[in-house]
């Protein structure tokens, strides 16, 4: 289960279509409040969140997801145009597990998904 939250409709729809074609269950949102509602209902394994979302920053969204009952199990990935060291630090302080700088290549997303699935198999 993957949550994608980004106000760049073309980007998020393209990534969502690729992930769906790979067999993943994907929910797409375009603002922070909708993403938080979706996370509460959907309990995603992964959440790729834009930092510059409308109505709620990606940092606040990450904190909100972490407060959900299923939020501690969700891998949070910041997807942003902001790539300075201070931006990465802010992302990790907000609860993100990874920080990806746009433009993001699909291979980067596959790597994150693959690493987590490998860990799950080893622990099973």
pLDDT computed for residue 115 by the predictor: 65
Q: What is the mean pLDDT of residues 23-38?
A: 97
**pLDDT tens profile 2-19:** 999 999 999 999 999 999
**pLDDT tens profile 63-107:** 999 999 999 999 999 999 878 889 999 999 999 999 999 988 888
pTM of the model: 0.89
Q: List the domain range (segments joined by +) for residue 17.
A: 2-123
pLDDT computed for residue 105 by the predictor: 87
Q: What is the mean pLDDT of the chain?
A: 90
Residue 23 has pLDDT above 80, yes or no: yes
Specify the number of domains making up the chain: 1
Cis amide prior to 119 (ω within 30 degrees): no
Residue 72 belongs to a domain with what CATH number? 3.40.50.2300
Q: How far is CA 79 from CA 36, 72, 118, 121, in A?
A: 16, 19, 22, 26
Contact status, residue 87 vs residue 80, Cβ threshold 8 Å: yes
């Amino acid at each position: 289960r993957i949550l994608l939250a980004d106000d760049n409709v073309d980007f998020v729809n393209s990534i969502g279509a690729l992930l769906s074609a790979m067999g993943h269950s994907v929910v797409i949102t375009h603002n922070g409040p909708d993403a938080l509602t979706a996370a509460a209902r959907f309990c995603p394994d992964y959440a790729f969140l834009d930092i510059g979302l409308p109505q709620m920053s990606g940092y606040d969204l990450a904190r909100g997801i972490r407060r959900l009952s299923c939020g501690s199990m969700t891998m949070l990935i910041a997807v942003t145009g902001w790539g300075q060291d201070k931006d990465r630090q802010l992302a990790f302080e907000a609860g993100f597990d990874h920080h990806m700088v746009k433009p993001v290549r699909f291979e980067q997303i596959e790597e994150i998904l693959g690493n987590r699935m490998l860990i799950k198999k080893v622990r099973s």
